[in-house]
Structure 1
């Protein structure tokens, strides 16, 4: 993924989709990208006290090339899964259950990177009150790697 200083200027929704596809191709399990209003500053850990909706989306790389896309009108937490395994997941089906309490508008598991990117972009493009293309900010977090096994010293 490009360093934030290397992010291209994005002037169309189609270019945003292309950039997300490029950003998620060949990425490690555990990578998370959050999209939302670039001027939003979260000061309180209590999501229930948010006065105004915060339209945002999140893409999370799971195992075996599966992406999870979440869309919400509240700030999305950075989830820390106990496993990134995908064997039991239903792919390419939209879920509206309450499995993730911070996710107000559903989630999807898919191997189709273009579909995942389009789901994120359409959320901002089509939802009233969402930030415009020039107002969308992005943050991403790569997974941490445990240190390698060290040989004992004698």
Structure 2
């Protein structure tokens, strides 16, 4: 699963988002759900957010990485929906390993068949 995730995240454009959760999950379910969201920022930086609730889709004011501390896990309440922390890093394999471990340890996920994924690509404005 790590290699699949690394391939899915490599060479993606700024603002690309990959969301993962358990396959077959329905939003009206009230049970805790393990989720992860990865968004591509500028300069090859990825933002990984993990949660036990469905994560909101962020509308970032910019994708600049100026001033962001890299390779440090945060557990503060910056994102209200992010119950299990977030990370900024350029290390794609670190993000993939963290996601695979998260789903394996917290949900018993063994293969990509157990995951539901949503890929979101940035929209582009028409340029004339």
Normalised to the residue count of structure 2, the TM-score between the two structures is 0.94
**2:67 partner SS:** coil
**1:119 partner SS:** helix
Matches within 5 A, 1:138-153: 138-148=117-127, 150=128
Kindly state the Cα deviation for residue 125 of structure 1 after the two structures are TM-superposed. Answer: 1.0
Uncovered stretches (5+) of structure 2, i.e. residues with no partner? none
The count of corresponding residues between Structure 1 and Structure 2 is: 126
Q: Deviations over 1:80-139 (max 9, x none)?
A: 100000011000000000000000000000000000111111101112xx1523321111
1:42 corresponds to which residue? 27
CA RMSD between the two structures: 1.2
Q: Which has the larger radius of gyration?
A: 1
Uncovered stretches (5+) of structure 1, i.e. residues with no partner? 1-15, 44-49
CA distance in 1 between counterparts of 2:108 and 2:81 reads 19
**2:5 partner SS:** helix
1:99 matched to 2:78: yes
- Structure 1 contact 36–131 (Cα < 8 Å) conserved: no
CA distance in 1 between counterparts of 2:48 and 2:2 reads 14
